[in-house]
Structure 1
Amino acid sequence: MNKKTQGTQRRDESLSRERIIEAAIEILDSTGESGLTFRSLSEKLATGPGAIYWHIADKSDLLTAACDAIVARTVDAQARDTTPKSGIRKLALGIFDMMEAHPWAGSALIRAGGKMPIVRILERVGPHVDALGVPKSKQWATVSALLNYMLGVGAQNAANTLLARSGEVRRSELLDGVSAAWSQLDPANYPYTRSMASYLLAHDDRKDFLAGIDLILSGIDSGRNTN
């Protein structure tokens, strides 16, 4: 193989769709969605934008592809030989931790709609729901409740993580401020919110997230037992 052929092969490998996606993930992790441009990606890959456009249509396509890559790793890491409830819990925590590690993925997942990242999650949640004995007529509503909870709460936590990483405000400072404000509310008009003020200072987001999953699973049990 001559030097020209070797050089061409190296360029082709560096500009594969997979390499572009990995570079995009690295940029997203370090600078967030605003830092991902075709210029920044071109500089990181030492190539021109035209070579990238050969593999990626636009930024939306790139974000979905990057999101799909980390979702694929997350679901593939989940053991398949597990009970339905355990499988749902493990998957949910995997998605939560994924968005904690890659905060940009929270909004990217929500915008992905019915594309492959969501399909991968559905393909793991759905069989577990089916194995729990949920009637076919109620499976979509059940899966949707689980999916919307995972994405919604996970994305909110990811947004909080991004805010903390920006240096604009620390999590403890934010919670202290909210807690102080709630504790000053009129007890006659806002008794419950006021009672939750002290809880904010010590709660664990990850444990609260899993508690919500368990509430949905309890609802599935109740619904099945009444059928």
Structure 2
Amino acid sequence: MTTRRTEALSRARIVEAAVELLDADGESGLTFRALTQRLATGPGAIYWHVANKGELLDAATETVIAQAVDHPQSGPRDGIRTVALGLFEAIDRHPWLATQLALQLSRSPWGTVTPRIFESIGRQVRELGVPEAEWFTATSALVHYILGAAGQNAANARSAAPGADRAEFLDAVSKVWEALDPDEYPFMRAVAAQMREHDDRAQFLAGIDLILGRITR
């Protein structure tokens, strides 16, 4: 959709439009030509604010993450759960985000995204009374679980057949698990029904609670 520009173009509006394009068409859909059409402007106005696509992807990632972790805190344990769920839902809503986060954390951990995520979790870990020598390890364990589990959940949702009903998909998978060889896969057969009935967010938060239980023990 092309919009008529009625006010001075800002970097924030450019990043907002970039997020919209990424959500609609993925990284391949984010081009400066598409941006100029959406913002009803010329490429020069965009290049005034951002130098290239890499900078734009970084800015889009930073913006989404800032919104995801910006929640009122009500105690460190609830604070961690709130931030974790915010990141989980952001990755679920924005299919391109998991890949960009992996790149940011490995390629440029000195950028703004990695410190923002670690600060939002680490500050709560500190308030839990964890010994200072264990702050980084405990926070890293939580961050790696959050991003890994959220990314896998988003990948699972994308891999399902287009338009497929989640309950039908899980039922089909569980039936395959139940039909596995009982001698070779006794565990998979035993949990097939649990997988069919599980709630993604509840399961995700259960994992957070398991890690918090170990951290605070």
Interval containing the TM-score (normalised by the shorter chain): 0.7 to 0.9
- Of 114, 119, 141 in structure 2, the residue corresponding to residue 123 of structure 1 is 119
Percent of aligned pairs with the same amino acid:
48
Q: Work out whether residues 163 and 169 of structure 1, in 8 Å CA contact, stay in contact via their aligned partners in 2.
A: no
Count of aligned pairs between the two proteins: 209
Task: Give the match for residue 215 of structure 2.
Answer: 220
Question: Counterpart amino acid of 2:64?
Answer: I
- For residues 60-139 of structure 1, what are the structure 2 equivalents within 5 Å? 60-76=54-70, 78-80=71-73, 82-113=74-105, 114=109, 115-139=111-135
Task: Give the match for residue 181 of structure 1.
Answer: 176
Q: Deviation of residue 30 (structure 1)?
A: 2.3
Give the secondary-structure state (helix, strand or coil) at the position aligned to 2:117: helix
The alignment's C-alpha RMSD in Å is: 2.1
Task: Kindly provide the CA deviation profile for residues 101-126 of structure 1, in whole angstroms up to 9, marking residues without a partner as x.
Answer: 22322222222112212221211111
Q: Structure 1-normalised TM-score?
A: 0.83
Task: Kindly provide the CA deviation profile for residues 176-214 of structure 1, in whole angstroms up to 9, marking residues without a partner as x.
Answer: 332122111111111001111112211100000000000
Q: Deviation of residue 153 (structure 1)?
A: 0.8
Q: Structure 2-normalised TM-score?
A: 0.87
Task: Give the match for residue 159 of structure 1.
Answer: 155
Provide the rounded CA distance (Å) in 2 between the counterparts of 1:43 and 1:163.
31
State which drifts further: 201-210 or 93-102: 93-102
In the alignment, structure 2 segments of 5+ residues that lack a partner are none
State which drifts further: 171-180 or 136-145: 171-180
Larger radius of gyration between Structure 1 and Structure 2: 1
Q: After the TM superposition, list the runs of 4 or more consecutive aligned residues in structure 1 that deviate by more than 6 angstroms.
A: none
Q: Deviation of residue 63 (structure 1)?
A: 1.7
